[in-house]
């Protein structure tokens, strides 16, 4: 072929393959064989390599995954991704219906949809082209995962019409994909995912899109975030439009005019849900009319025009074979039920936490019992009750030991605590769990240094405390199981990078009893260096808002230990930062800032500042930023498209500023 002919062929192949992809992944009606599709894809790949200028953003070749990302950028949602209120029984649904009819009258219709158990995402299109995909995050700010979402073949890269539109959907892992993924993990001696929801979330947070592409995820789009010029007047009409544009919407949706019909629909899916090719954990019910939705409005956390009916957790019977004990980083000894493998809510369960000895006694749980098991929240396995009528007399009562199963030290029960605790600071289990906590994402965030690697390093005596992590060398790491040269290089770099973390990360990582991530930041911000913190008294600490007596005593006790002083000096010697790097704390009494001591709410889209930046700067000047407007709110900052919070501020007579006034005051 000559060049013009080849270029024409590229365009033809792109259009053809996108059509075949839509037929297969959205309509579930493939019109060509896999072999023919693959042959055409190979041809297109070769031609695009020859004419790279013809490779467009919506080319089907873009679905295989691009370059590895350094991180995910934070993205502020133009329209917040709110959570839904929950219903757990018929009475809750009838109460929802009553509240709706009190506002909009009796002429109301409801759309019922499957509540997919996955990861909520937002998809933005400009002139019909997919330009940005974002996780829900905290509902206000999510993570940009555009490249990973492009690997989901049911997401159109270009719409059938050149709309500017933002839609919301649930990305999920079909049951078959989940089973195949976990089988591969077991073959590779890796920890399998607990459930398809975790697997989907983990896949979409891979920094390498090629790994996400291998996970075979899917999506159902369930709403239009910004209706714009669509002319849509109802939710069901919006779903029909999404179908026309090329999105995949759930075919099981139904519209009803009475709550009795809704309840019948919900009850019908209680038994049918296992037959679906994907997991659902309930049914979402929405008022269909968009005008009525606007009348009903929102609470601070959720829309008043929608509710999620949550299915009762599936309960199954199995045998309790044994009870094992584990020691956590704070020394708490936790009993765990070892079960005959049983399928619960889509995954195989072999272990369930028994929490403490009091719970075992209360439920009269014995080794050898047949028990009923469920997943709390469809996630965490727990023993519901014992099937006493199935006892044979051979069951054995369980008693907690008096000595630590790891180090043999005497176990104690501290005042006002249910749990037994090992208080030996040299207990191997506590040290190992403490190391795992230190490197975790919410602490020092050392990527690549997971539980298995820590366990190997600890077993080989290469690390005995957190300072030893910073002494590790590449030659030592390469010798570990499943650790290649590139992985070792990446890990060395991650360890080195963590030295620059701000003090609050280190304080939380040290695992001081009662000090969580929020308290660690408060302490770091107030005292600024670890040397200042080491010298404080309990009285100094309780004078700080949010620090109670119990936490204050724990902090003083921790820093008074000679081995802690030695550890800090080791960390200092290894170049670990021991100072706070964030915005300085403002003492309200000494501050002349307008914001000092005031409670402020941000609403709408800010143009010059991100919401996070505005929050950080306000807090740096002594203000407190909250998410909802109330009588205690002093000020509301309103950006573009401010909604119900602005109306609430007007109702309560609260002062409202625009972004320009905010920036002007911050600069003073």
Q: For the chain, what is the radius of gyration of the CA atoms?
A: 28
For the domain spanning 503-573, the CATH number is 1.10.150.20
Query: Hey, which residues does 74 pair with through a beta bridge?
Result: 143
Strands 129-135 and 306-310 come out as unpaired
d(CA 501, CA 479): 28
For residue range 207-238, list pLDDT tens digits in order: 777 788 888 899 999 999 876 667 788 999 99
Residue 501 above 90 pLDDT?
yes
Instruction: Please name every residue paired with 134 in a beta bridge, in sequence order, or none if there are none.
Output: 122, 144
Confidence of residue 68 (pLDDT cuts 50, 70, 90): very low
**For residues 655 and 636, is the Cβ–Cβ distance under 8 A?**
yes
Query: What secondary structure does DSSP assign to 339-391, as a single string?
Result: EEEEEETTEEEEEEE---HHHHHHTT-EET-EEEEEEETTTEEEEEEE-GGG-
Look at residue 360 and tell me whether its pLDDT is greater than 70: yes
Fold classification of 315-397 (topology level): OB fold (Dihydrolipoamide Acetyltransferase, E2P) (2.40.50)
Distance of CA 523 to the CA centre of its chain: 26
Of 314 and 86, more confident: 86
Domain 592-666 homologous superfamily, CATH? BRCT domain (3.40.50.10190)
- Is the pLDDT reported for residue 300 higher than 80? no
Read off the tokens for 526. Answer: 């107030």
CATH code of the region 85-310? 3.30.470.30
DSSP 8-state symbol, 642: -
For the stretch 267-286, pLDDT in tens is: 999 888 888 999 898 999 99
In the predicted model, is pLDDT for residue 77 greater than 90? no
Q: What pLDDT does residue 380 have?
A: 75
What mean pLDDT do residues 349-371 have?
91
What is the Cβ-side half-sphere exposure of residue 621, based on CA atoms within 13 angstroms? 19
Known catalytic residues? 115
Residue range 632-645: average pLDDT? Answer: 81
Picking from 13-27, 520-534, 630-644, which range would have the lowest pLDDT averaged per residue?
13-27
Give the pLDDT mean for 475-494: 89
Q: How many CB atoms lie within 10 A of CB 163?
A: 19
User: Which two structure tokens, joined as six digits, stand for 414?
Assistant: 């501290």
Say which CATH class 3-64 falls into: mainly alpha
* pLDDT confidence band for 157 (50 / 70 / 90): very high
pLDDT for 473 beyond 80 = yes
Q: What is the CATH architecture assignment of 428-498? A: Orthogonal Bundle (1.10)
Distance CA 345, CA 332 (A): 29
Helix, strand, coil percentages, rounded to 5, for the chain: 40, 20, 40
Handedness of CA 26, 302, 441, 449 (dihedral sign): negative
Report which of residues 45 and 439 the model is more confident about. 439
Greatest Cα-to-Cα distance within the chain, rounded to the nearest angstrom: 86
85-310 and 592-666: identical CATH topology: no
Q: Is the pLDDT of residue 665 over 90?
A: no
Among 227-241, 305-319, 587-601, the range scoring the smallest mean pLDDT is 587-601
66 pLDDT band (50/70/90 cuts)? low
CA torsion, points 401, 407, 412, 413, in degrees to nearest 10? -70
Cβ partners under 8 Å of residue 331, min gap 6: 404, 421, 422, 423, 424, 427, 430
- Please enumerate in sequence order all residues whose Cβ is within 8 A of that of 667, keeping only pairs 6 or more positions apart, or say none: none
Mean pLDDT of 256-261: 95
Average pLDDT, the chain: 86
Nearest CA among 400, 395, 355, 353 for reference residue 375: 353
pLDDT computed for residue 588 by the predictor: 46
Nearest to 62 by CA among 50, 75, 48: 48
pTM: 0.54
Distances in Å between the Cα of 394 and the Cα atoms of 45, 334, 370 are 67, 25, 12
What percentage of the chain carries pLDDT values higher than 90? Answer: 40
> 512 vs 44, which has greater pLDDT?
512
Query: Residue 190 — very low, low, confident or very high, per pLDDT cuts 50/70/90?
Result: low
Residue 483, pLDDT score: 86
Q: Is 140 exposed, middle or buried (0-12, 13-18, 19+ CB in 10 A)?
A: middle
Q: How far is CA 425 from CA 64, 225, 428, 509, in A?
A: 50, 53, 9, 16
H or E stretch covering 99: helix 90-104
pLDDT in tens, 314-333: 789 999 999 999 998 888 89
List the domain boundaries for the chain: 3-64, 85-310, 315-397, 428-498, 503-573, 592-666
Average pLDDT over residues 383-404: 93
Give per-residue pLDDT as tens, 504-559. 999 999 999 888 888 898 899 889 999 999 999 988 888 886 788 888 998 999 99
What local confidence, expressed as pLDDT, does residue 619 receive? 78
């Amino acid at each position: 072929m000559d060049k013009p002919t080849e270029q024409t062929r590229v365009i033809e192949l792109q259009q053809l393959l996108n059509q075949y992809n839509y037929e297969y992944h959205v309509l579930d009606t493939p019109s060509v064989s896999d072999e023919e599709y693959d042959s055409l894809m190979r041809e297109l790949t070769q031609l695009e390599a020859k004419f790279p200028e013809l490779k467009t953003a919506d080319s089907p070749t873009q679905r295989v995954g691009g370059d590895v990302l350094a991180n995910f950028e934070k993205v502020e949602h133009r329209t917040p991704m709110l959570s839904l209120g929950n219903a757990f029984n018929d009475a809750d649904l009838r109460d929802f219906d009553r509240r709706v009819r009190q506002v909009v009258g009796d002429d109301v219709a409801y759309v019922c949809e499957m509540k997919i158990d996955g990861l909520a995402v937002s998809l933005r299109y400009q002139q019909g082209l997919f330009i940005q995909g974002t996780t829900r995050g905290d509902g206000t700010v999510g993570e940009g995962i555009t490249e990973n979402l492009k690997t989901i073949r049911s997401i159109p890269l270009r719409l059938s019409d050149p709309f500017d539109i933002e839609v919301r959907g649930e990305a999920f892992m079909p049951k078959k994909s989940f089973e195949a993924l976990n089988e591969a993990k077991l073959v590779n001696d890796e920890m399998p995912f607990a459930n398809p929801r975790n697997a989907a979330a983990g896949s979409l947070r891979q920094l390498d899109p090629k790994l996400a592409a291998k996970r075979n995820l899917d999506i159902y789009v369930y709403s239009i975030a910004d209706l714009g010029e669509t002319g849509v007047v109802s939710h069901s009409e919006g779903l029909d439009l999404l179908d026309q544009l090329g999105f995949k919407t759930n075919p099981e949706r139904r519209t009803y005019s009475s709550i009795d019909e809704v309840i019948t629909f919900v009850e019908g899916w209680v038994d049918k849900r296992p037959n679906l090719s994907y997991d659902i954990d309930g049914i979402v019910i929405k008022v269909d009319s968009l005008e009525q939705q606007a009348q009903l409005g929102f609470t601070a956390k959720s829309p008043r025009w929608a509710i999620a009916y949550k299915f009762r957790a599936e309960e199954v019977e199995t045998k309790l074979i044994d009870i094992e004990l584990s020691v956590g980083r704070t020394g708490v000894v936790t009993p765990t039920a070892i079960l005959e493998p049983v399928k619960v809510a889509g995954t195989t369960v072999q272990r369930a936490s028994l929490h403490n000895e009091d719970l075992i006694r209360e439920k009269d749980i014995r080794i050898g019992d047949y028990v009923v098991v469920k997943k709390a929240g469809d996630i965490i396995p727990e023993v519901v009750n014992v099937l006493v009528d199935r006892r044979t007399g051979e069951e054995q009562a369980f008693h907690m030991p008096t000595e630590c199963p790891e180090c043999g030290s005497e176990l104690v029960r501290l005042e006002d605590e249910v749990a037994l605790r090992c208080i030996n600071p040299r207990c191997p289990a506590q040290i190992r769990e403490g190391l795992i906590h230190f490197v975790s994402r919410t602490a020092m965030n050392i990527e690549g240094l997971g539980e298995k690697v820590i366990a190997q390093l600890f077993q080989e005596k290469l690390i005995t405390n957190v300072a030893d992590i910073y002494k590790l060398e590449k030659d030592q790491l390469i010798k570990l199981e499943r650790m290649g040269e590139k992985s070792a290089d990446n890990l060395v770099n991650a360890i080195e990078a963590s030295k620059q973390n701000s003090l609050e990360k280190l304080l939380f990582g040290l695992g001081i009893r009662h000090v969580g991530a929020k308290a660690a930041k408060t302490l770091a911000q107030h005292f600024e260096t670890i040397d200042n913190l080491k010298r404080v008294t309990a009285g100094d600490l309780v004078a700080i808002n949010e620090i109670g007596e119990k936490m204050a005593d724990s902090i003083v006790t921790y820093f008074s230990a000679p081995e802690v002083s030695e550890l800090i000096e080791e960390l200092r010697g290894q170049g670990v930062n021991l100072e706070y790097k964030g915005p300085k704390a403002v003492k309200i009494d000494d501050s002349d800032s307008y914001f000092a001591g005031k409670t402020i709410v941000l609403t709408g889209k800010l143009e010059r500042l991100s919401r996070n930046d505005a929050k950080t700067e306000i807090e740096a000047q002594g203000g407190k930023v909250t998410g909802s407007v109330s009588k205690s709110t002093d000020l509301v900052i309103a950006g573009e498209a401010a909604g119900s919070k602005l109306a609430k501020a007007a109702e309560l007579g609260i002062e409202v500023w625009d972004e320009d006034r905010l920036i002007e005051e911050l600069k003073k």
